[in-house]
Amino acid sequence: MRNPYTCDNCIYNPSQYFDIGSKVGYCLKCSLLLKSSSHTTCHFFKRKDLPLFLSQEGHKEHAGDYPESKGIVFYYSKHPEQEIKYSECHAWLTNTFDPYLHEVAIYHRSEKKWVYLQAFLSSRNPIKHIISSSFIRRYIQQCGKKNDNYRLVLSMANDLKEKISMQLEDFRIEITYEEFGELKEDYLKEIILLKIYGIQEYGSILEDDKIMWISDELNGALLYSWKEFFSYVQQIVPVVQNYIISSAKQRGTFFPDSDSFEEMG
């Protein structure tokens, strides 16, 4: 059984999600490479595989077991992980350059994160889906209520309609073609859910129950095959987007000045 409290399931490590993603992770909280992400954790850990409002109690308990001063440590032994900074120069010289890892490092150094996030959306690549959902969840949590990020969340909802093209190479572990066939459908569903969780977190921040519980719109579709599930998700996207737009209109934040194209985050 997968351990849900390791770095490969943390939103601060955007380029990995359990068995999928870059070979090496990157922690946005600690600004360090994660070479053993399936076995490490830290005080600031936040789960990818649940909305924040459903996992807060678990996070508090976890944080109590891993003191802030210890940094990134191995889950069971609590011994510190080696601290390694990201170096693009080193990656090229050692033939270990990973474009997904590099994207995360660039984002971390970027000053205009809102623009970067908007440009990163709308991809059929599963790893980019994972990265963008983690980026946005982290971003809207940091903003809280002070900035209404409905535009980012609308784009994330629109991404739910995009077909995801998963390849054997997207897995960061060695698997056979037979295993790939078995794992593919489950991971495709989970990647969709990561974005739904982000939308739910936005609803939680705004205390909007309709957005907070959009998962109810799935109505058990998670039990269907991937093809049926995806078809169902595509059908509910307009409903979800209508909730987001209606909510923003009620607050008076939905494009209040239609002649201006200002960043809103």
One-letter amino acid at 92 equals W
- On the question of pLDDT at 245 being above 60, the answer is yes
Domain assignment present for residue 187? The answer is yes
Which of 98, 124, 142 is the last residue in one of the domains?
Answer: 98
Measured distance CA(28)–CA(40) in Å, rounded: 15
Which residue, 71, 98, 125, sits at the end of a domain? 98
The pLDDT of residue 59: 96
Same domain, 81 and 162: no
Mean pLDDT for the stretch of residues 128-142? 93
Among 41, 67, 98, the domain boundary falls at 98
Give the integer Cα–Cα distance in Å for 114 and 120.
10
- Owning domain of residue 4: 1-98
Bridging pattern class, strands 20-21 and 73-74: unpaired
**In contact, 205 and 212? CB cutoff 8 Å:** no
Task: Count the helix, strand and coil residues of the chain and give each as a percent rounded to the nearest 5.
Answer: 55, 5, 40
The H or E element containing residue 26 is strand 25-27
Reported pTM: 0.91
Instruction: Round to whole Å and give the CA distance between 10 and 201.
Output: 15
Do residues 76 and 83 touch, judged by C-beta distance below 8 A? no
> Are both 80 and 119 inside the same structural domain?
no
Residues facing 29 on adjacent strands: none
Q: Are 192 and 236 members of one domain?
A: yes
Asked whether residue 103 is domain-assigned, the answer is no
Same domain, 126 and 246: yes
C-alpha closest to that of 203 among 211, 214, 193, 213: 211
Residues 23, 140 share a domain: no
Q: Which two tokens stand for residue 25?
A: 């992770």
Residues 148 and 205 in one domain: yes
Quick one: pLDDT at residue 109? Answer: 81
User: Count of domains in the chain?
Assistant: 2
Mean pLDDT for all residues in the chain: 91
Percent of all residues in the chain with a pLDDT value above 70, rounded to a whole number: 95
- By C-alpha distance, which of 188, 198, 199, 205 is closest to 240? 199
| Together in a domain, 148 and 77 | no
Give yes or no: residues 92 and 156 share one domain. Answer: no
Instruction: Give the model's pLDDT for residue 147.
Output: 83
The alpha carbon of residue 89 and the mean position of all alpha carbons in its chain are separated, in whole angstroms, by 27
Q: Is residue 219 part of a domain?
A: yes
Q: What is the pLDDT of residues 198-237, one digit of tens each?
A: 999 999 999 999 999 999 998 889 889 999 999 999 999 9
Q: Are residues 181 and 56 in the same domain?
A: no
Q: Are residues 146 and 44 in the same domain?
A: no
